[in-house]
Protein backbone atom coordinates (compact mmCIF):
# COMPACT_ATOMS: atom_id res chain seq x y z
CA UNK A 1 0.00 0.00 0.00
CA UNK A 2 1.09 3.55 -0.71
CA UNK A 3 1.60 6.24 1.88
CA UNK A 4 -1.05 7.23 4.37
CA UNK A 5 -1.61 10.43 6.27
CA UNK A 6 -2.93 11.06 9.80
CA UNK A 7 -4.40 14.50 10.42
CA UNK A 8 -6.77 16.38 12.72
CA UNK A 9 -10.38 16.21 11.52
CA UNK A 10 -12.11 19.29 10.12
CA UNK A 11 -15.82 20.09 9.81
CA UNK A 12 -15.68 18.87 6.20
CA UNK A 13 -14.89 15.36 7.53
CA UNK A 14 -18.24 14.88 9.32
CA UNK A 15 -19.78 12.77 6.53
CA UNK A 16 -16.75 10.45 6.54
CA UNK A 17 -16.68 10.29 10.34
CA UNK A 18 -20.36 9.30 10.36
CA UNK A 19 -19.72 6.69 7.64
CA UNK A 20 -16.92 5.14 9.68
CA UNK A 21 -18.95 5.27 12.92
CA UNK A 22 -21.70 3.32 11.17
CA UNK A 23 -19.18 0.85 9.72
CA UNK A 24 -17.65 0.30 13.18
CA UNK A 25 -21.10 -0.20 14.71
CA UNK A 26 -21.93 -2.73 12.01
CA UNK A 27 -18.64 -4.54 12.68
CA UNK A 28 -19.58 -4.69 16.37
CA UNK A 29 -23.07 -6.04 15.50
CA UNK A 30 -24.68 -2.84 16.79
CA UNK A 31 -25.63 -1.04 13.55
CA UNK A 32 -29.09 -0.15 14.88
CA UNK A 33 -27.57 1.59 17.92
CA UNK A 34 -26.24 4.52 15.85
CA UNK A 35 -28.65 7.42 16.23
CA UNK A 36 -26.15 10.10 15.23
CA UNK A 37 -26.54 12.30 12.17
CA UNK A 38 -24.24 14.86 10.58
CA UNK A 39 -26.51 17.79 11.41
CA UNK A 40 -28.76 16.43 14.16
CA UNK A 41 -32.54 16.28 14.47
CA UNK A 42 -35.26 15.99 17.09
CA UNK A 43 -37.23 12.82 17.55
CA UNK A 44 -40.23 12.55 19.84
CA UNK A 45 -38.13 12.32 22.99
CA UNK A 46 -34.48 12.50 22.05
CA UNK A 47 -32.20 15.07 20.60
CA UNK A 48 -29.74 13.20 18.42
CA UNK A 49 -26.22 14.58 18.71
CA UNK A 50 -24.83 16.73 15.95
CA UNK A 51 -21.35 15.72 14.81
CA UNK A 52 -20.66 19.13 13.37
CA UNK A 53 -21.74 21.17 16.40
CA UNK A 54 -20.49 18.68 18.99
CA UNK A 55 -17.02 18.40 17.48
CA UNK A 56 -16.45 21.76 15.87
CA UNK A 57 -18.78 24.18 17.66
CA UNK A 58 -18.01 26.71 20.36
CA UNK A 59 -17.52 24.01 23.04
CA UNK A 60 -16.31 20.81 21.31
CA UNK A 61 -17.25 17.59 23.09
CA UNK A 62 -14.80 15.48 21.11
CA UNK A 63 -11.66 15.65 18.99
CA UNK A 64 -10.87 13.39 16.09
CA UNK A 65 -7.94 12.17 14.02
CA UNK A 66 -8.48 11.06 10.44
CA UNK A 67 -6.47 8.47 8.49
CA UNK A 68 -6.32 8.97 4.73
CA UNK A 69 -4.79 7.11 1.81
CA UNK A 70 -4.26 8.47 -1.71
CA UNK A 71 -7.20 7.82 -4.02
CA UNK A 72 -6.41 5.43 -6.82
CA UNK A 73 -7.96 7.72 -9.43
CA UNK A 74 -6.33 10.86 -7.95
CA UNK A 75 -9.62 12.74 -7.82
CA UNK A 76 -9.54 16.48 -7.00
CA UNK A 77 -8.96 16.14 -3.25
CA UNK A 78 -6.68 13.15 -3.78
CA UNK A 79 -7.41 11.20 -0.57
CA UNK A 80 -9.90 8.69 0.84
CA UNK A 81 -10.69 8.60 4.56
CA UNK A 82 -10.10 5.03 5.82
CA UNK A 83 -9.93 5.41 9.59
CA UNK A 84 -10.63 7.63 12.55
CA UNK A 85 -9.90 7.99 16.23
CA UNK A 86 -12.40 9.99 18.30
CA UNK A 87 -11.30 11.10 21.75
CA UNK A 88 -11.98 13.62 24.48
CA UNK A 89 -10.41 14.80 27.71
CA UNK A 90 -11.84 13.89 31.08
CA UNK A 91 -10.79 13.98 34.70
CA UNK A 92 -10.40 11.31 37.37
CA UNK A 93 -10.24 12.77 40.89
CA UNK A 94 -7.90 9.97 41.98
CA UNK A 95 -5.30 10.34 39.26
CA UNK A 96 -6.01 13.58 37.34
CA UNK A 97 -6.43 14.46 33.69
CA UNK A 98 -7.10 11.60 31.26
CA UNK A 99 -7.79 11.11 27.59
CA UNK A 100 -10.69 8.85 26.67
CA UNK A 101 -10.53 7.04 23.33
CA UNK A 102 -14.19 6.77 22.37
CA UNK A 103 -13.86 5.16 18.94
CA UNK A 104 -10.85 3.86 17.03
CA UNK A 105 -11.35 2.23 13.65
CA UNK A 106 -9.49 1.43 10.46
CA UNK A 107 -11.38 -0.09 7.52
CA UNK A 108 -10.51 -3.75 7.11
CA UNK A 109 -8.73 -3.52 3.71
CA UNK A 110 -6.33 -0.96 5.23
CA UNK A 111 -5.41 -2.85 8.40
CA UNK A 112 -1.89 -4.20 8.83
CA UNK A 113 -0.17 -1.22 7.18
CA UNK A 114 0.63 0.70 10.37
CA UNK A 115 -2.28 3.15 10.15
CA UNK A 116 -3.77 2.14 13.51
CA UNK A 117 -0.36 2.13 15.18
CA UNK A 118 0.36 5.63 13.89
CA UNK A 119 -3.03 6.93 15.08
CA UNK A 120 -2.45 5.37 18.52
CA UNK A 121 1.00 6.96 18.60
CA UNK A 122 -0.47 10.38 17.70
CA UNK A 123 -3.17 10.11 20.38
CA UNK A 124 -0.51 9.10 22.91
CA UNK A 125 1.52 12.19 21.93
CA UNK A 126 -1.58 14.37 22.33
CA UNK A 127 -2.20 12.85 25.77
CA UNK A 128 1.38 13.52 26.88
CA UNK A 129 1.34 17.08 25.49
CA UNK A 130 -1.87 17.72 27.47
CA UNK A 131 -0.43 16.27 30.71
CA UNK A 132 -2.78 13.28 30.77
CA UNK A 133 -1.86 10.51 33.18
CA UNK A 134 -3.62 7.73 31.25
CA UNK A 135 -5.85 6.80 28.34
CA UNK A 136 -9.03 4.79 28.89
CA UNK A 137 -11.26 3.02 26.35
CA UNK A 138 -13.66 0.11 25.99
CA UNK A 139 -13.39 -2.98 23.84
CA UNK A 140 -16.32 -5.32 23.28
CA UNK A 141 -15.60 -8.64 25.01
CA UNK A 142 -15.74 -10.86 21.92
CA UNK A 143 -13.23 -8.74 19.97
CA UNK A 144 -10.13 -10.73 20.89
CA UNK A 145 -8.14 -9.25 17.98
CA UNK A 146 -8.55 -5.74 19.41
CA UNK A 147 -7.94 -6.90 22.98
CA UNK A 148 -4.70 -8.54 21.87
CA UNK A 149 -3.76 -5.45 19.80
CA UNK A 150 -4.05 -3.18 22.85
CA UNK A 151 -2.49 -5.55 25.39
CA UNK A 152 0.53 -6.10 23.10
CA UNK A 153 1.04 -2.35 23.31
CA UNK A 154 0.85 -2.28 27.11
CA UNK A 155 -2.85 -1.64 27.86
CA UNK A 156 -4.28 -3.17 31.03
CA UNK A 157 -7.71 -4.81 31.08
CA UNK A 158 -9.28 -3.04 34.08
CA UNK A 159 -12.26 -5.41 34.12
CA UNK A 160 -9.81 -8.15 35.06
CA UNK A 161 -7.18 -6.01 36.77
CA UNK A 162 -9.45 -3.95 39.04
CA UNK A 163 -12.89 -5.55 38.66
CA UNK A 164 -14.70 -2.43 37.43
CA UNK A 165 -18.15 -2.70 35.86
CA UNK A 166 -19.43 -0.29 33.23
CA UNK A 167 -22.87 1.19 33.89
CA UNK A 168 -25.11 3.45 31.86
CA UNK A 169 -28.16 5.63 32.53
CA UNK A 170 -30.28 5.84 29.38
CA UNK A 171 -31.92 9.10 28.30
CA UNK A 172 -35.22 7.84 29.78
CA UNK A 173 -33.50 7.11 33.09
CA UNK A 174 -31.86 10.53 33.09
CA UNK A 175 -35.23 12.22 32.51
CA UNK A 176 -36.74 10.20 35.33
CA UNK A 177 -33.84 10.93 37.70
CA UNK A 178 -33.91 14.64 36.80
CA UNK A 179 -37.62 14.91 37.60
CA UNK A 180 -37.52 13.09 40.94
CA UNK A 181 -38.32 15.16 44.02
Strands 63-70 and 79-92 come out as antiparallel
Give dist(CA 177, CA 173) in Å, integer.
Answer: 6
CA distance 86 to 61: 10
Catalytic residue, from 27, 79, 100, 150: name it.
Answer: 150
Q: Which residue blocks in the chain are alpha helix, DSSP H?
A: 14-27, 51-56, 115-129, 144-152, 158-161, 171-179
Nearest to 150 by CA among 93, 110, 101, 84: 101
Residue 176: strand, helix, or coil: helix
Of 68, 76, 73, the closest CA to residue 16 belongs to: 68
Q: Is 150 annotated as catalytic? A: yes
Interacting residues of 68 by C-beta distance below 8 A, sequence separation 6+? 4, 5, 6, 7, 79, 80, 81, 82
Catalytic residue positions, numbered: 150
Amino acid sequence: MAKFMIRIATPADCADILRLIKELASYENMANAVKLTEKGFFTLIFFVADLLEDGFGEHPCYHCLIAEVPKEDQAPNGYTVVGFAMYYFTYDPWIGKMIYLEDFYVMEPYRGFGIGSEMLKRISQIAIQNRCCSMHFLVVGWNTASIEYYTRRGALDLSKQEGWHLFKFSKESLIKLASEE
